[in-house]
Amino acid sequence: MMNMALQTTLRGHLVHNEPMGKHCSWRTGGAAEIYFEPADKQDLILFLTQTANDVPVTWIGLGSNLLVRDGGLKGIVISTLNKLNDLRLLDNGNVYAESGVTCAKLARFCQKHNLDGADFLAGIPGTVGGALAMNAGAFGFETWQFVKSVEIVNRLGHLESRESSEFKVSYRSVELAHSEWFSASVFCFPVKTDDEESNIKPLLAKRNASQPIGLPSCGSVFKNPQGDHAARLIEAAGLKGFCIGGACISTKHANFIINENNASATDIEALITEIQHQVKQKFNIELNTEVRIMGDKL
Angle at CA of residue 181, ends 176 and 183, nearest 5°: 130
Instruction: Domain of residue 251: give its range.
Output: 212-294
In angstroms, the CA 245 to CA 243 distance is: 6
The tally of CA atoms less than 13 A away on the side-chain side of residue 281 is 8
206 part of a folded domain: no
pTM of the model: 0.91
> The sheet that has 95-98: what strands, in order across it?
87-89, 95-98, 180-187, 147-154, 159-163
Angle at CA of residue 54, ends 53 and 60, nearest 5°: 80
| Catalytic-labelled residue, pool 172, 198, 250, 269 | 172
62 shares a domain with 12: yes
204 part of a folded domain: no
Q: Which of 79, 107, 131 is the last residue of a domain?
A: 79
Cα–Cα distances (Å) from 62 to 35, 101, 106, 187, 231, in that order, read 14, 10, 14, 20, 23
State the DSSP code for 196: P
Low-confidence stretches of the chain (pLDDT beneath 50):
4-5
247 shares a domain with 174: no
Per the annotation, the verdict on 172 as an active-site residue is yes
Per the annotation, the verdict on 290 as an active-site residue is yes
pLDDT digits (tens, 9 = 90+) for 12-56: 999 999 999 999 999 999 999 999 999 999 999 999 999 998 899
pLDDT digits (tens, 9 = 90+) for 80-107: 999 999 999 999 999 999 999 999 999 9
Cα–Cα distances (Å) from 65 to 47, 71, 155, 266, in that order, read 25, 18, 22, 16
Provide the domain count of the chain: 3
20 part of a folded domain: yes
**CATH for 10:** 3.30.43.10
272 part of a folded domain: yes
| pLDDT value of residue 261 | 94
Q: Which of 54, 79, 104 is the last residue of a domain?
A: 79
| Catalytic-labelled residue, pool 64, 220, 250, 264 | 220
201 part of a folded domain: no
200 part of a folded domain: no
| pLDDT value of residue 195 | 67
178 shares a domain with 93: yes
57 shares a domain with 92: no
| pLDDT value of residue 41 | 95
Per the annotation, the verdict on 185 as an active-site residue is no
3-state SS, residue 77: strand
User: Nearest-CA neighbor of 151 among 44, 226, 237, 75?
Assistant: 44
Q: Is the dihedral of CA 155, 160, 164, 165 positive or negative?
A: negative
| Catalytic-labelled residue, pool 18, 37, 269, 290 | 290
| pLDDT value of residue 3 | 52
62 shares a domain with 18: yes
| pLDDT value of residue 196 | 67
